Amino acid sequence: MMAVPSLTFSNGKTMPQIGLGTWMLKPDEVSNAVKSAIDIGYRHIDTAQLYNNEKEIGDVLAEVLSDGAVKREELFIVTKLSFFNMAPQCVRANFLDSLKKLRLDYIDLYLIHAPMAIQ
């Protein structure tokens, strides 16, 4: 297993400094990439609504969590709110959609993908 340095937030939660970015990974590629990354020791997985691969990542996460390959608390999962969905009335529904697609009870870090408004 590779040793990865981590950052510690003020609440005590840690985030591995090296993670697997899933941008531009197509749905049929991302499953193998995420599974392989977890197998070799990655614990930080970065995705976003705009990447259109949260569901496939969620399927892999469900698989590795259910087979005991890794525990949920060992993973640091990041996803991002699309700038198309930043209207206050849209945020919660989109967060819940990402949570459902990722098949998780919580997301470790939820970011605004691009801090700008699209009118």
Q: Domain segments of the chain: what residues?
A: 6-112
pLDDT at 2: 64
- Interhelix angle for 54-66 vs 27-40, to 10°? 40
Per-residue pLDDT of the chain (119 residues; tens, 9 = 90+): 667 899 999 999 999 999 999 999 988 899 999 999 999 999 999 999 999 999 999 999 999 999 999 999 999 999 999 988 888 999 999 999 999 999 999 999 999 988 766 56
Cβ atoms of residues 97 and 107 within 8 Å:
no
pLDDT at 48: 96
For residue 31, give both structure tokens: 């499953």
pLDDT at 86: 84
pLDDT at 1: 63
> CA–CA separation, 18 vs 117, rounded Å?
29
> CA–CA separation, 77 vs 49, rounded Å?
13
> CA–CA separation, 32 vs 21, rounded Å?
13
Q: 10 Å Cβ neighbour count for 10?
A: 5
pLDDT at 20: 97
93 contacts: CB under 8 Å, gap ≥ 6: none
CATH class of 6-112: alpha beta
Q: Which residue has the tokens 């691009």?
A: 114
Return the active site residues. 51
Cβ atoms of residues 30 and 56 within 8 Å:
yes
